[in-house]
A = this chain, B = another copy of it.
Amino acid sequence: MKIVGVDTIDVRFPTSRGLHGSDAMNPDPDYSAAYAILRTDDDLTGHGFTFTIGRGNEVVVAAIEALAPLVVGLDAEEAFADPSLVWRRLTGDSQLRWIGPEKGAIHLATAALVNAVWDLHAKHAGKPLWKLLVDLTPEQLVDCVPLRYLDDALTRDEALDLLRAHEPTKAAREAELLANGYPAYTTSVGWLGYPDEQVRELARAAHADGWTHFKMKVGLDTPGDARRAALLREEIGADARLMMDANQVWSVPEAIEAMRVLAEFDPWWIEEPTSPDDVLGHAAIARAVAPIRVATGEHVQNRVVFKQLLQADAIGFCQIDACRLGGVNEVLAVLLLAAKFGVPVCPHAGGVGLCELVQHLSAFDYVAVSADLTDRVIEYVDHLHEHFVSPVVVQDGRYRLPLEPGYCAEMHADSLEEHRFPWR
């Protein structure tokens, strides 16, 4: 089977009209996907995308097109047999590398293509992606992982030891997840653009539906944040976990000052308190706001920054993003780093299709890497799932494991056509 072409589509949803997804940094996002379809000389197609919030999606599409020649013509079975081949090609082009390296538009595009190849791989194997990964040996898995620049924190042998330690007990955890699902939290109740009454009603309904972890947006003004936090606590009670997300709006001293006020509402974590590039700033905030823990990741550009966040004790939760990192291979590196440092992984999701992707990553993480569900929840947002061929199923606050072959990345052809940008 040969990869014979890459089709790209600029897909955008007009979510800003309802202020869904609104927060202190992003007042009016139009949830979008820079979408890639790998065509083969067989019946199978591989689907992958990266998530953006509207304008600029066309730049990422241009970046996918710049990378496409590096996968077109590939023997797919060769790529499956050496599952870091595509990663190495896409991140190793010395000229394209310059406009990153491994960050920004070119890395988002790398994610779309790397993920599309994994989707194709899993479909070809007839397994959901999580199961394809779970069934690899520790040696095969480590061969997938880009360890470059990590060896001061994680050597190849340490990665192997981590995976081997939990190898004998994988089957039991797989059965457990299939029976019970993976715990989730909801962000759908607390968008900044929603009026107080809407927040209250959504929180009440979600609490009644069995949700136990709720995330609210903060950062526009601290008194307003406190008012909404109080209102949420009234609805969800003292025992439920309340997370706060500032979406990068604060400087380091501003974050510390705001959390001094908001600590009263017992937040479980403060997410993106400042610039996602500021490792030392996150570490300073973490020291100052403890026992509240710091979470970040949806804008953490690559494994090198995650390595440092872990080395510096800057994060208490590691929020991998399936498309900000350069696809499955780089996510594996971060799962291993987080396990080495003992930090729970709670993926960023929502957007377009991120829930569909990260459920695979967390399932694999539990079965093969962390072997622990303590303090681990996947974000859930109830938007746009209807556009996916295999949408997530969330019941009683838990993701049910997907069983369809592939990475659940495929959108309906009609949805792609209807939401192709520019809109008609």
Residues of A within 8 A of B (CB): 25-30, 52-60, 62-63, 66, 93-108, 148-152, 248, 251-254, 274-281, 284, 299, 301-302, 304-305, 307-308, 311-312
Residues of B close to A108: CB separation below 8 A: 99
* A151 surroundings in chain B (CB, below 8 A): 251-254
Looking across the interface, which residue of chain B has its beta carbon closest to that of A284? B152
Asked if B104 and A99 sit within 8 Å, CB to CB, the answer is yes
Contact of A277 among B30, B93, B103 (CB under 8 A): B103
B27:A94 contact, CB within 8 angstroms: yes
Query: Within the complex, which residue of B56, B277, B311 is in contact with A99, where a contact is CB–CB below 8 Å?
Result: B56
Most buried by B among A25, A29, A251, A275: A275
Task: Please name all residues of chain B whose beta carbon is closer than 8 Å to the beta carbon of A299 when the two chains form the complex.
Answer: 101
Taking CB as reference atom, which chain B residue is nearest A51? B98
> How many protomers of this protein does the assembly include?
2
Contact B95 A54 (CB under 8 A): yes
Q: Are B60's CB and A311's CB within 8 A? A: no
Do the beta carbons of A95 and B59 come within 8 Å of each other?
A: no
Report if A60-B101 is in contact (Cβ < 8 Å); known contacts: A277-B301, A280-B308: no
Q: Which residues of B contact A307 (CB under 8 A)?
A: 278
Complex interface: chain B residues within 8 A of A103 (CB): 103-104, 277, 301
Selected from B27, B66, B148, B279, the residue in CB contact (under 8 A) with A58 is: B66
**Chain B residues whose CB sits within 8 angstroms of the CB of A302 once the complex forms:** 277
16 A–B contacts from the bound complex (CB under 8 Å)? A25-B97, A28-B95, A53-B98, A56-B63, A56-B98, A56-B99, A99-B108, A101-B276, A103-B301, A149-B251, A149-B278, A151-B251, A151-B253, A152-B251, A277-B302, A277-B304
Note all chain B residues with C-beta closer than 8 A to A105: 59, 63, 99, 104-106
Considering the chains assembled together, what is the distance between the CA atoms of A118 and B311 in angstroms? 40
Chain B residue numbers with a CB within 8 Å of A274 are 149
On chain B, the residues within 8 Å of A308 by CB distance are 278-281
Question: Which residues of B are found within 8 Å of A93, using beta-carbon distances?
Answer: 55
**5 extra interface residue pairs, beta carbon distance < 8 Å, beyond A53-B98, A56-B66, A152-B251:** A29-B94, A55-B96, A56-B106, A59-B99, A275-B304
Distance in angstroms between the alpha carbons of A108 and B112 in the assembled complex: 22
Query: Which of chain B's residues have a CB closer than 8 A to the CB of A59?
Result: 59, 62-63, 66, 99, 105-106
Given contacts A103-B103, A301-B103, contact A95 B279 (CB under 8 A): no
6 closest cross-chain pairs (CB), A and B: A104-B104, A54-B95, A55-B95, A105-B105, A152-B252, A62-B62
Chain B: which residue is nearest A101 at the CB level?
B299
CB distance from A84 to the nearest CB of B (A): 17
B62 touches A58 (CB 8 A): yes
The CA of A211 and the CA of B93, in the complex, are separated in Å by 34
